[in-house]
Amino acid sequence: MAHGITMTQTTDVRRAPPRVHGIRDLTESTYVLRFDRRDLTFEPGQYVSVGVKGEIDMREYSVYSPIEADFLEILVKEIDGGLVSRKLRRARPGDELEVDGPFGFFTIDEPDRRRPLLFIATGTGISPFHCFAGSYSDLDYRLLHGVRTASERYDHNAFASDRLTTCLSKDPASITGDGRSAAGSVVAGRVTDYLREHPVDPDTRCYLCGNCDMIYEAFDILKGHGVAPEHLYAEVYF
């Protein structure tokens, strides 16, 4: 199943078919798809439903590009047997897409943009945080990104290196020296392992995006650190 999002919203605005600008490969299976924005407006953290024009199948993807860009980008992981991710991978510049949205409520209210923020992602769940960081230049955030291998550190150079920690669950041998790189700190283990060992200020607003098992486990840990449930926000990727 393609990575997507479980949230829904009643807004469904259809526009003239946007055209593909191009594809930027990040790994053998993960890529960034850029296409026309047209007149679409969105809040950072929202998502769009995307498919090939004329096809019935569509999937939901968080907007990856910053709010000021005159194009839209999504981060896509090609899934074996995936109906949409494989078709989008074959798209060429000028091809038409079907795009609906925006949808979703995984956004940062203006007052919370002045508070300490903790972003926690696994895999392509980094997508909305890439949009947040590119859209709001003055956020006081920390990002934990859980991946299996170092090759999955998707566009980590887009984040301030002193605000980023990568948690490697399958490739600890790649960590050398003091565990730092040009794209922040690198540690062995899962994001939940890191959270257990690093208490979080209870005033922190915590945003989590990734698989549901990580989110449930992280919620318990963060509540144990004193973070109130109403200060925990999640977007489930599946």
pLDDT at 87: 95
Identify the CA nearest to 125 among candidates 50, 45, 189, 219.
45
Structural domains in the chain, CATH included, are 20-103 (2.40.30.10), 110-236 (3.40.50.80)
pLDDT at 172: 62
What is the pLDDT at residue 81? Answer: 82
pLDDT in tens, 129-183: 999 999 999 999 999 999 999 899 999 999 999 999 999 998 665 555 545 555 6
User: pTM of this prediction?
Assistant: 0.89
Could you read off the pLDDT of 184-236 as tens digits, one per residue?
789 999 999 999 999 999 999 999 999 999 999 999 999 999 999 999 999 99
